[in-house]
Every structure is written in structure tokens, then in C-alpha cells.
Amino acid sequence: MKINTNPFINSVAPGKTDGGVSSVCRVSTSGLDQKSFQDQYTQTKNNLGQINPSKDHNKSASKQLQLLTQKAPTFPPLDQLVLLKDHQPQNAILLTGRIVQHLNPKVWDTFTSSEKLQITAEHLESMCHFLNMDAAELHKTNELKSLYLSESQLESYRQALISDNRFTHKWLFEKEEIHPHLLIQPQNPAFNAIADSIGDDTRWIWDEIGDAHKEHFELFEFDQFYEKQGYIQRSGSMDLTVESIILFGHKKNGIYQLKHAGKINEHGFYQSKQHTGGTLLWPAPIADACEEFGEPLLQYVRKEEPVESTDTNGSDTPG
């Protein structure tokens, strides 16, 4: 394993973890004979060899992405990644997170915290090379790394995958999703995408919008629902306004048929709940488009709070 050759890896002395213990021989050898020690050393090196990227970044990234396509048929063909080329930092974070999420637990769990972070950083570096990022994109990726690829986040992704038990995977396969995504919360029938769009994970919101027997709703029904939540429809083209809501559906003969929603989080990722399945992070709303949900058609943003007027003397009260 190479040490600290790129900006995505924290500074750690060669052969050392953060605590100053050898990254390969991290347990006391006082109770081990030479053969047992050598066996342990060899096994750890073999474990690293199974999941650590090679020095050829493009080759390493291609190999890991090909492995993902074998583990998850919903993973996009590599040529589909160019469809979201304006969101490369998000792509790199999501792809790296998903690579680590799917690594063999029998191998992954043998590593120290420093080794896990170093392996993740090297996979991220390979992904950045593979996506051919420019300097600005690399800088943005490095900012997102500490937020989305910390040890606690990585373990959260891995636990979400285990708890989900491939439920969301099967749902996505039926939807024929093809864009990069990362499972961040496992299946949960307690709430749906509409509820998640307003930050509520305690209820299934449907009959609050209109007739509960409908398969989709009209625009005025969603306008009324989101207005009650403190949102108004945004005019003009969509953007990545933080905490805004993206409404999905089909538009036929000028009539909206709407049934799905997601939100832009505080760091520019798009997040959506998949029916009774899990919650996913995407690089952009368009990545969630499919025949089932339709396309992103409308955006809702927080209402602006009214500004209190002041008189010429700077007083907030009249007179």
C-alpha cells in the first residue's frame, strides 16, 4: 500500500497508523512465535491485495467498476457515466462510497481505521483519474471527501447495504435505473419519497395530497401540499438550490401526472426515497428519472421570510 501520495490521503508516517503502530503488524508479538507472526503478516498483506487499488489508476477504477456491475446489475454501464459529466465530484464520491460499501466484510473488518481510510482514499484517487477531473473538480471532491467518506459514514453505508437485504437493489432493477447512486438508508415501509422530501421519516404521505386511490396527482394538488409545508414553486429552469424539492412525473398534452419527489441536500447531492425501499444519494435529479417516476419537472423552494420595514431613523417601530 502506498502512503500519502495524493491530497485525498491523510498524512501518516510510512508503515504507521495514526496511533504510531505498524499498519501491517499492529498487534503485540510477545505471545507469538516467528511462524505465527509470519502467517499473520502474510494474511494481512493478502487481504490488502484483494481490495487495494493498483498503481495504474484508470485500470484500477475500471476493474472496481466492472466488479460492481457483476455484484449489482443496476450499476450503470461505464459509458453512461459521461451523461453526468457536469457532476464529476459527486460521481467520484458516490462511486467510491459504493466500491467500499460492497467490499468483502471478511477482509474489510480486519483493517484498522487508518487502513480503511487509506484504502478509501486510494480508490477515490483512482476514480478521479478515471473521470479525468480538472483542478476545480478535484478541489470540490476533496471538500466532499471529509463529509461523505469518513470512517463513520463508510460503516453507515455498509450497514445500510446489509440491513437492506437487496430489497432496494431489486426495486431498482425493475425500474431499470442506470445512473450512479449510493444506498444511504435501508428499506423502510414507514415513509415514502414525498415524506422524505420534507424531512419526515415517520409517515407515508399520500392522502394528504389528494384522493388516496390515485396513482398520481395534478400540479395544483402538489402546489397546495407543499405550500402548507412552507414551499413555493420556483419559476424558470431548475438549479441545485439547497434544500429545494424536485417533483417528478409525466407531462401529457399539457397535463401533469406527478407521483415522486426528492430533495437537494446541503452539499449539492440529490436524495430520494425509493417507494418502500431505501434512500439513495444521486449526483443530480435527472439520475433518478425512469419510466416509473417520470422526469424531474418542477422545483419547490422555501418561501422567503418577509423583511420587516424600518423608518429613516432605523427604528423598527412607528413614530
Q: Which of 85-94, 260-269, 280-289, 308-317 is predicted with the least confidence, judged by mean pLDDT?
A: 308-317
Cell of 97: 462510497
- Summarize pLDDT for 164-202 with one digit per residue, the tens: 999 998 888 766 656 789 999 999 999 999 999 999 999
- Residue among 215, 216, 192, 218 nearest 205 (CA): 192
78 lies in the same domain as 152? yes
pLDDT for 123-138, tens place per residue? 999 999 888 899 999 9
Q: Is residue 210 part of a domain?
A: yes
Measured between alpha carbons, how far is residue 291 from residues 174, 179, 181, 260, 277 in Å?
10, 14, 17, 12, 17
Query: 192 and 272 share a domain?
Result: yes
285, part of any domain? yes
| Same-domain check for residues 210 and 156 | no
Average pLDDT over residues 27-52: 48
Residue 269: inside a domain? yes
Q: Tell me if 27 is assigned to some domain.
A: no
Beta strands in the chain (DSSP E): 182-185, 231-233, 245-252, 255-264, 270-273, 279-282, 295-302
> Is residue 5 assigned to a domain?
no
Q: How many domains does the chain have?
A: 2
State which residues form the domain around 146: 34-163
149, 246: one domain: no
- pLDDT (tens digit, 9 = 90+) per residue, 202-217? 999 999 999 989 999 9
